[in-house]
Every structure is written in C-alpha cells, then in structure tokens.
Amino acid sequence: MRTSVLVLAVVVVAGFVAGPASLQESGPTGPSPYDVVDEWMTPFAADGYAWGSHPGVAIDSPNRIFVIQRGEFRLPDPLPSEFAGFVGSIGLNALRPEDARVWKNCIFIVNSDGDLVETWDQWDHLFEGSNGPHKIRISPYDSERRIWVVHETGHQVFAFSNDGSELLMTLGEKDVGGNDETHFGRPQDVAFMPDGRILVADGLDNSRVVMFDPEGAYITHFGEKGIGRGEFDGVHAVATSADGRIYVADRNNARIQVFNETTRAAAWYHPNIAPIGVWPGFDFPNDIIINGYNVWIADNQPPKIIRTDLNGNREYTWDIAGEGPGQYRELHQFAVDENGNWYGADNVMGRTLKFEPKADANSVDLIRMQESATGSNP
C-alpha cells in the first residue's frame, strides 16, 4: 500500500508540473460559432456622454442582464462624425483619461433586446472617485439571486438584494488595503462554492484566494505571490465547478490553476486545499466559465475565446480581436444565458455585445451555463 501511494504521488506531481501537453500548442482554431447582434444595446447616456469602460456583465434571466461600467464618459466637443454610441468608435480608450469619468449609472440592467430596464444609480456613491466596479456575479447556487459586485480600488466586495433595494453584505474596508482576514488588496473577482461559501480573488496587490462562509465570516485563504505551483501573480478570475473544484486565472503567469478541497492536502501548501493542475500557455486570461463538460477562457493579447476539457486540453479557439462588429480590444468578463446567447463586456471599447448561436453551429462549440450542484442549469 505504501508503495502504491508513493507512485501515485510521483505521477500527480509530474503531471502537475508538466501540464496538459496540448496547452503547449495552440490547439484547433476556427471561426466563431456565433453571430453578433448588430447595435444590440441602446445608448441611454445624456447628451455629451457615453458609456464608460464596461468591465462586467452577469445574467439574472434572458430579460434581466446586468452590466457594470466605470462611470459614464464625457465626450469630446465637437464630437467626431464617426461616433457610433460608444467611445471606442472614435478611437478612444474608455479607461482613459480618468478625469473624463462621471459617476453615473455604474450598475444598470437591460433586456434581451438591449433596451434599458433600470439603473441602480442609488449605489453610484459607492464607486465615486475610484476605478469603479470591476466584476459582477450571481451565484448559481443562491435562491435569492443576490448581485455581487467587486470594487477593486475600494478594496471591497458588495452583495446587493436582487431588486437593488438593499446592500446586504460588504466584505473589506472602504479604501483600506491589506492582507489580513478583513482586508483585501485590490480584489478582482468573486465566486461561490456549491454550499454557499464565498471565494474572493484578492489578486492585484495581494496574490491569494480568500474563502468566507455564507454569512461573510473569514474561513481561510490560499496562495502567495510567485511562479511556483499554487502561487499567483495577478489573480484576475476565480470560478468553481459543481463538484467543488476551484479554477483560478493566474493572469500575469499566463496560466489557469486548478485546486480541490481534501483532507489529505499536501502539508507544504494548505491543510485542506490542494493544487491539482496547472494549465500553461495562455496570454492574458481575464475570465472563466465552467460547466460539467468544458471550461471556456476569455484570453486576451490578442482577445480570443478558448474551450478546453476539464483536464485543460484545448478543444477549440476562435479569434475576437479587433474594433469592428463582434470584436474586442479587451474581453474583461463574459456570461451566457439559458438560450445559449453569450454576452461580453469590453473594458477598453466601452460596450457590451450580444452573440447568438449560428444556425449551423456545432452545439459542442457553444458556451453553456454553469450547472448547479444537482447537475441541472440554474
């Protein structure tokens, strides 16, 4: 028995270090299995303004799509004739200059046609004078469908009621960075375990993932800055699967790392969390979507979507780089609805696009919703 355990340990470690062989190569590439919906989202900013940077999008239902923006953008005067409703259409970067921002409509909701449903301007004050909201999530395991928003430079994570009437939970202290049990250092993302525990990607000033119980009490954290297994440099996204695995976009190390919970974790790393996989060979991974069959990664530099199996082997990639219809300068966060449409927020162009499956698309290539703990879509 002792010999068998030792052999298994050697195999696992060797596989971990090497990573999937196919990730050292580009893998199969081809055309997008989707068509972009032209001029999908209707601009609603007042005259002289446009959407600011769009860092995030989340789907509550096909007719309730949440978008976050880093404030609205003050347009130049005179306005170039090429303006098409978003700042990228006139060659500007929605992230710059910061003094072009006004803190309006940082969280808003549109329907499936892209028409404005409501704005949550009652919460704009939370982001004023900062870099604005960074990611937005809804847990597939949460019957209350709370809306979670990550505030990077404010060092906080917020949980709102689904109707926006209440701020239910705040993790972190406003404008106070740190790396202890109650402080973050520019958090990047939030994800959820099937039992309701909360994971925060505490990722730019710190290099760790922090775990809280469903009420927001600190449990533990894992990771530190570095290039070794289980170490991070820029934890930009965190996602979980229904079987409890944790997937981390280790962005500046250009890889995805995978972890699981175990009572037999390696003592050198963490008592209850084990690094079980490293998927190298990415360029700038910003976001992750997982279901029971595949993982989709929003990779950038240049922007593209990569589908892998659950072992990290690349199965398909399509390019989305550019500034034209259906293209991105930076795909920062993406989401998919129950009808198979996907939505992606462009951090630089200042717009969110909607894509519908092509009539002849292979269903295997389509992004699918995350499954719940019971194996069904939420």
pLDDT at 377 over 70: no
Alpha carbon distances (Å) from 277 to 156, 158, 164, 238 = 29, 30, 38, 14
What is 2-365's CATH superfamily? Answer: TolB, C-terminal domain (2.120.10.30)
Q: What is the pLDDT of residues 257-306, one digit of tens each?
A: 999 998 776 678 998 999 999 999 999 999 999 988 899 999 999 999 99
pLDDT score of 19: 55
The dihedral formed by the CA atoms of 10, 14, 16 and 22, expressed in degrees to the nearest 10: -140
The single residue listed with the structure tokens 């995030």 is: 56
Cβ atoms of 223 and 231 closer than 8 Å: yes
pLDDT at 131 over 80: yes
Q: Which of 149, 125, 114, 152 is nearest to 71 (CA)?
A: 125
Mean pLDDT of 308-332: 97
